[in-house]
Amino acid sequence: MERKAVFSVLVQNQPGVLAHVSGMFAARSYNIDSLVVGRTEDPALSRMVIVTAGDEATLEQIRKQLGKLVSVVKVRDLTEQPCVVRDLLLIQIACPPEKRGEIRQIAEVFRGNIVDIAPRSVTVQITGPEAKVEAFVDICRPYGIREMSRTGLIAVPRDSARA
CATH of the domain at 123: 3.30.70.1150
Residues 92, 146 contacting (CB under 8 angstroms): yes
Same domain as 98, residue 66: no
Q: For residue 31, give its domain range.
A: 3-77
Closest CA to 107 of 87, 122, 119, 129: 122
Same domain as 65, residue 38: yes
At how many degrees (to 10) do helices 100-109 and 130-140 cross? 160
**Is there a domain that residue 162 lies in?**
no
Same domain as 61, residue 96: no
Q: Strands, DSSP E only, in the chain?
A: 3-12, 34-39, 45-54, 72-77, 83-94, 113-118, 121-128, 145-150, 154-157
Same domain as 65, residue 32: yes
CA-angle at 112, arms to 135 and 155, nearest 5°: 70
Predicted pLDDT at 163:
52
Q: How many domains does the chain have?
A: 2
The tens-digit pLDDT sequence of the chain (163 residues) is 889 999 999 999 999 999 999 999 999 999 999 999 999 999 999 999 999 999 999 999 999 999 999 999 999 999 888 999 999 999 999 999 999 999 999 999 999 999 999 999 999 999 999 999 999 999 999 999 999 999 989 998 888 745 5
φ, ψ for residue 118 (rounded to 5)?
A: -125, 170
Residues 82, 160 contacting (CB under 8 angstroms): yes
**Is there a domain that residue 141 lies in?**
yes
Predicted pLDDT at 158:
87
pTM (2 d.p.): 0.84
Same domain as 45, residue 107: no
CATH of the domain at 50: 3.30.70.260
Predicted pLDDT at 162:
53
